[in-house]
Amino acid sequence: MTQHPTTRQRPAARRSHGPSPRAVSTQRAVPIRRPARPGPLPAELSPRRPATGPVGARRTGGRPSRLLVLLLGAALAAGLGAWQLDRYRADHGSLTAPVRAAGDAAGGEIEVAVVGPGGTVAESSGASSPVYTASLVKLLVVEQLLEGAAEDGLPLDAADRRDLERAVTISDDQAMNRLWVAFDGARLVRSAVVEFGLEQTAPPAVPGQWGQATASAADMARFLTALPAHLAPDDLAALSGWMRAASTQAADGFDQGFGLRSAGVGAPEGTAVKQGWMCCVDGHRQLHSAGLLPDGTAVVLLGEFPEEVPWDTARSALDAAARGVVEGLLPALAAG
């Protein structure tokens, strides 16, 4: 991901990205969706710890049939998720150990979270620590806009929808810039935090620098696993389809074939993946790979390395970490 500071001039030692702040009058209002009422969560949204803010089921917009579908889906997810969690539980060490080793060998840190429909399968010790999201924040923005259009009548024209697709498939920063400015990206991130019950996710401290939004591996995995409960079927198919159709080369020329998208990792066919990369804020580079497996299990790998570590070294580390996780999951996936 190419980084664009708000001055549009790229200093040699510090690069970040995001649009230049613009007048509020250029933004189109996007309501923050909050849970309609307190109540039990679907299994995939149940917090690992007490939530720090209001969390609840997705708003139904006054459509009882939609509520019934969600409740039935939640019950099914609870049963299937518990079974899935049981078949994964014994492999916790086999999922986290290779990730830690890969990060150590590259002189950096890689955190992992694996979350299935029934809850957390495995987490590294730092999976709840927030890091810069780089382009993973695009998923939060795109999801909120798709849901806003479906649930709240938010007008998205053809150009907006092209930007949604480009922000995911080719990780187009210019498309993200336009969406962030037009729809108040920081507000969208805050809305996702409330709606999904995210605990370590926040908008960027520097206005406009969307790549410096923060999130943890645990939050991103929880978000991905919960998508079916928050998006209409057509929108879910669109977002996951864009993730599966991601180009080999991003809009800025970066090769997206690393981590879960690396040919040598062996992720199951149909895995939907979003990648993220950024350098060199606070003397570090970020390299992330987040995916949703065909069985609904989310795998999130967040890598952070000193800026002296070359991209090739970081990429090899993400590949090794992803390979270890996928190999650890393969027996359970085959059994399913």
- Torsion angle in degrees (nearest 10) through CA of 116, 118, 124, 129: 100
91-94, Cβ contacts within 8 angstroms, sequence gap of 24 or more: 91/122, 91/328, 91/329, 91/331, 91/332, 92/121, 92/122, 94/324, 94/327, 94/328
Shortest CA distance to 103 belongs to which of 284, 246, 247?
284
Q: How is residue 313 written in tokens?
A: 């070294």
Look up the pTM and report it: 0.78
Neighbouring-strand partners of residue 288: 276, 302
**DSSP E strand stretches across the chain:** 109-116, 119-123, 131-132, 214-215, 272-279, 284-292, 298-306
With left for phi above 0 and alpha for psi between -120 and 50, is residue 20 left, alpha or beta? beta
Angle between helices 217-226 and 185-196 (to 10 degrees): 80
pLDDT for position 64 = 35
Give CATH superfamily name and number for 92-335: DD-peptidase/beta-lactamase superfamily (3.40.710.10)
Longest distance between any two alpha carbons in the chain, whole Å:
56
Residue ranges of the domains in the chain? 92-335
Q: What is the pLDDT of residue 61?
A: 38
In order along its 336 residues, the chain shows pLDDT tens digits of 644 433 223 223 334 455 533 333 345 555 555 443 233 323 332 222 223 332 233 333 333 344 443 444 444 444 444 434 444 443 577 899 999 999 999 999 999 999 998 888 999 999 999 999 999 999 999 999 999 999 999 999 999 999 999 999 999 999 999 999 999 999 999 999 999 999 999 999 999 999 999 999 999 999 999 999 999 999 999 999 999 999 999 999 999 999 999 999 999 999 999 999 999 999 999 999 999 999 999 999 999 999 999 999 999 999 999 999 999 997 655 555
Report the pLDDT value the prediction gives residue 231, as an integer from 0 to 100.
97
Classify 257 as helix, strand or coil: coil
pLDDT digits 0-9 by tens, 65-98: 444 434 444 444 444 444 344 444 435 778 999 9
